[in-house]
Structure 1
Amino acid sequence: MRRSILTSLLVLCLVAAPAWAQPSPGELTVILSSLSTEALDPILAGHIVKFYLSLMFDYLVGATPDGQLSREGGVATRWEASGDGKRWTFHLRRGVRFHTGDELTAEDVKFSILRALGPRSTTGYAQGLRQLVKEIETPAPDRVVIVTKDATVMIPTLLSRLLSTEGMILPKKYVEAKGDDGFARAPVGSGPYRFVEQVSSSHVRLEALPSHWRLGTPKYKTVVFKAVPEETTRIAMLRRGEADVVEISRERMKEVEGAGYAVHLRREDGQIEGWFVQPWAQTPIRDKRVREALNLAIDRTELAETVFGGQASPAAVPFGLSWSFPEIKFKITPEMVYAHDPGRAKKLLADAGYANGFPIDIFAFQLPGFPEGRAMAEALAGYWQSVGLKPRLIPVDYPAFRKQWFDRTAPGALGYYNIANRDWIGTYALIDKYAAPTAKSASIRDPELDSLMDAVIHQADREKTYALMRSIFNRLRSEHLGLPLVYYHTPYATSKRVPRWNPGAIMYELNVDELLAGK
């Protein structure tokens, strides 16, 4: 069984943004370049708006800020699998209440998961769960049993805060009474903050409960997430005392630090990964020596220092998201690191029959959180030109590139993306997106990799699963099935009243809980 995990997004449209006022002492203000989809219903939101939804809703399985499953942070206080790996039992925390006052029970958990797997769901991992989950039993108000079609170790993580929103628990009675549209306009969860208002392209405002099992008595009565696309405006708001946490660019870190504000890094927040548009069976990319040469021609250390202002580090494994490495016990060995070796790159090209080079297209575009995109594409063109290739830069916006990628009308051309870091299960799903033969996004064709991917989804033994994941990474690296470039660090500046903060290491999540907790 294979999973192709693609997220489609819906946008809620309301009204224009107001002028901002200085926040009250009891308000925490977080300013970002975008609030993404702005969805309020978890099944329409995907993982990219978790930063405010995670305050409104509780997850079945919690997570620590450093990216480990937690029995303290979720509705389930413990869970275990049956001997055959096909029945996962979750024991629920008693006394958890929704903002309506109703107690959260096993029926709410069952309802929420089935809704997340339903046809309306656009979340990132819904399709994988659809293929895994056979049925859900509720033998007691505080106990849920998820029965799977095949043995698997993935269920707790797929329903945790580590990944998307499938594990968020909703009030069954309220959703059924209000209907999907009514719930999307006035969502209710069981998290430490309740929804107050949303203004499209402007802000989402939340209000604290008097006390909550996750945070104790919150330090701030309200939390406001604001969308301010212009970085100069965001920094000006920080200087005027209108913001507590502000997303900034790598380019302006020193300026902000020089003004006396603390800057906090989400280290290795993601990986810049390049890939080649299918079908490339009739292009030079089909030759392993060519793919290796393209990698060896690049000076990743220079790229990290110049294009990314020193706020990045070289990557070595295609689609090798580093937050996945510790749990599966994978380590980057010295021989895996791509040296900058133009001489060897030229020899490999000559051995492959391309001593005089060949034309190669590089799409050049920028992405949210990745303003360096076009500058990086220009740098890659320079590296490849220096070993005799004939690169052609094609400036486009991302949707135009994505169409050619999915339509497969640019065989062998280079695309790239800033891929958010994540745990090993999220990484497995990502690799499947690029390797599954039937996926529109497929950019890899490798039968051995396909076999390893198939084996993971059916494996119930955790250590054997980890060994398979290590083999997948080794295969990606040994066959040079992509262009791993750098791990980038994402900076956030904070006001004087937030001198210390750990932004955390959970995909698309900001560890705002740390700033709010009154425990």
Structure 2
Amino acid sequence: SKAQWDKEGQEGFEKRPAGTGSYRYAGRQPGLSVSFERADGHWKGEKPAFKELVFRLAREESTRLALLLSGEAHIADLPRELQKDALARGMKIYSSSFPVDWMTVYLGGQYYMPGDPAFKPDVAWTKKPVRQALNMAINRKELLSTVFAGKGTLTYVTGWSEKSEGYNPEWASRFDKMYGYDPAKARALLKEAGYGPGQLKFKILAFTEPGESEGPQVAESLGIYYKDIGVETEIQVLDWAKVREMFRKKAIQCCMWPNIISWRPSEEWIRTSYYSKSPNHHYENEFVDKHYDALTRAVNPAERQKIARTIGDHLFEEFADIPLFWFANEVVANPKVVGEWVYPGLAAGRSTHFHLVKPAK
């Protein structure tokens, strides 16, 4: 807070930053851990069951599993392929109450604002039939089953869940006809756009992040699906920081990339991903900018709902990207320590509301 900064400066902020949560900062070991302690006498009356909360920083997935199994950690974020190992050793999965993450494949180079020098008309997916073809080439049911162990639901428009402002239930009923798996239709759409077998080539970028280990597997699956419709692909594994730099600098016309992103309100998601003045550049045009500006000025709930749905409808009709799946957040915990954890997941991070973690009885 400003009052604390004026009184204590940087040193005071480092020792005890101001906050309102039911856990307060207690210290850290740089690169290793961050510690919190229960804020007794909390202004809202919250009293977490556990007195201390320590976040161990462990980037390697196998390290997180080892910490959990050894008892050095009681809750861990593990990829799906390691969850089964933890379950076999008596651990338990806790899931968020709502879907919190979605996976979408983004298509670089969709910069349709008039006069944008980054727009290259020779990028294949600037043609709408190509975007639809790349959607219809994917067997989403198979992909969900094989890579994600069936844990997920379809995403119809990137970023919109049923709880989102502007969600249109018609997207679900129309999805199969417009986006559903149909390799023959995909080949016909490519032919309509002027691409015969072997004539369309591009890169698929893949990266991994904690809680997002499936990127390379999804990239490989996409390569197989696209080969089946006569498209040649090259998979390139990069650091997330490099991929982000490329799309922020509008230097990613070469490529598509799958990404997992956490839920946020519709207005914020539109600003983040589709508004031309955002630092991110996924798909942008005058239509989206005009309606986003209107959304930011609207206060009437019905009007806001209508505007947000108009933007979502536009993205759906234009095949702006390749929406795949929604996922609940999952963590693995030691049931001898953690008895219950009910949390929504819809907040600033995937795992939230740590004050609701209950001890085992």
Fold in common (TM above 0.5): yes
Is residue 137–residue 226 contact of structure 2 (8 Å, CA) maintained in 1? yes
CA 1:286–1:452: 2 relative to 1, 3 Å: same
Matching of residues 330-369 of structure 1 within 5 Å:
330-331=168-169, 332-337=171-176, 338-356=179-197, 357-369=199-211
Partner of 2:240: 398
Structure 1 residues 328, 402: CA separation in 2 closer, same or farther (over 3 Å shift)? closer
1:24-43 paired onto structure 2 within 5 Å: none
1:184 Cα offset (Å): 3.5
Partner of 1:211: 41
Task: Tell me if structure 2 keeps the 8 A contact 1:264–1:503.
Answer: no
Matching residue of 1:222: 52
1:321 and 2:321 matched: no
Cα offset for 1:412?
Answer: 4.7
SS at match of 2:306: helix
Partner of residue 132, structure 2: 292
Q: Retained in 1: the 8 A contact 2:103–2:326?
A: yes
Distance (whole Å) between structure 2 residues aligned to residue 190 and residue 437 of structure 1: 35
**Counterpart for residue 252 of structure 1:** 82
* Alignment check: 8 A CA contact 1:250 1:490 kept: no
Cα gap change, 1:383 to 1:183, in 2 (>3 Å): same
Is residue 437 of structure 1 aligned with residue 268 of structure 2? no
Q: Structure 2 length as normaliser, TM-score?
A: 0.86
Contact 2:75-2:332 at 8 Å conserved across structures:
yes
Distance 1:280 1:181 in 2: 51
Match of 1:446 in 2: 285
User: Which of 376, 384, 404 does residue 218 from structure 2 map onto?
Assistant: 376
Q: Which residue is equivalent to 2:103?
A: 272
Indicate if the aligned counterparts of 1:249 and 1:491 stay in contact, CA closer than 8 A.
no
**Cα shift at 1:235:** 2.8
Q: Secondary structure at the match of 2:302?
A: helix
- In structure 2, do the counterparts of structure 1 residues 456 and 213 end up closer, same or farther at CA, with 3 Å as the change threshold? same
Match of 2:55, SS state, is strand
Structure 2 counterpart of 1:469: 308
The 1:405–1:186 alpha-carbon spacing in structure 2 relative to 1, beyond 3 Å, is same
State the AA in 2 paired with 1:446. N
* 1:283 and 2:126 matched: no
Q: 1:262 aligns with which of 92, 97, 104?
A: 92
Change (3 A) 1:186 1:400: same
- Give deviations 1:189-241, integer Å, cap 9, x for gaps: 34323322111122222222333243444322222222222333333333333
SS across alignment from 1:416? strand
- CA 1:181–1:444 in structure 2 vs 1: closer, same or farther (change >3 Å)? farther
Deviation track 1:404-438 (CA, whole Å, cap 9, x = no partner) reads: 3233334252123211122x2xx322322332234
Provide closer, same or farther for how the CA distance between residues 238 and 334 of structure 1 changes in structure 2, counting only shifts above 3 A.
Answer: same
1:79-118 alignment runs, 5 A limit: none
CA distance in 2 between counterparts of 1:300 and 1:196 reads 45
Q: TM-score, normalised by structure 1?
A: 0.61
Contact (CA 8 Å) 1:449, 1:472: kept in 2 or not? yes
Which secondary structure does the structure 1 equivalent of 2:56 belong to? Answer: strand
Cα distance per residue 1:367-419 (max 9 Å; x no partner) = 33211111111111111111111222223222333333233334252123211
Give 1:117's aligned residue: none
- Offset at 1:344? 0.8
SS of the residue corresponding to residue 229 of structure 1 reads: coil
The answer to whether the 8 Å contact 1:280/1:412 transfers is no
Q: Which amino acid aligns with 2:270?
A: I
Amino acid at match of 1:347: A
Task: Tell me the matched-pair count.
Answer: 342
8 Å contact from structure 2 (residues 159, 263) kept in 1: no
Match of 1:493 in 2: 332
Larger RCO: Structure 1 or Structure 2 (Cα < 8 Å, ≥ 6 residues apart)?
A: 2
**By how many angstroms is 1:516 displaced?**
6.1
**Deviation, structure 1 residue 185:** 4.1
In structure 2, do the counterparts of structure 1 residues 406 and 341 end up closer, same or farther at CA, with 3 Å as the change threshold?
Answer: same
Residue 260 (structure 1) shift: 2.1
Seen in structure 2, the aligned counterparts of structure 1 residues 400 and 447 have a Cα distance that, compared at 3 Å, is same
Q: Specify every segment of 5 or more residues in structure 2 that has no aligned partner in the other structure, as ranges.
A: 110-118
Q: State the secondary structure of the residue aligned to 1:228.
A: coil
Which has the larger displacement, 440-449 or 283-292? Answer: 440-449
Q: Which consecutive residues of structure 1, in runs of 5 or more, have no partner in the other structure? A: 1-169
Secondary structure at the residue paired with 2:194? coil
Residues 214, 493 of structure 1: alpha-carbon distance in 2 compared, 3 angstrom cutoff: farther
Task: Give the SS at the match of 1:414.
Answer: strand
Aligned equivalent of 1:419 = 261
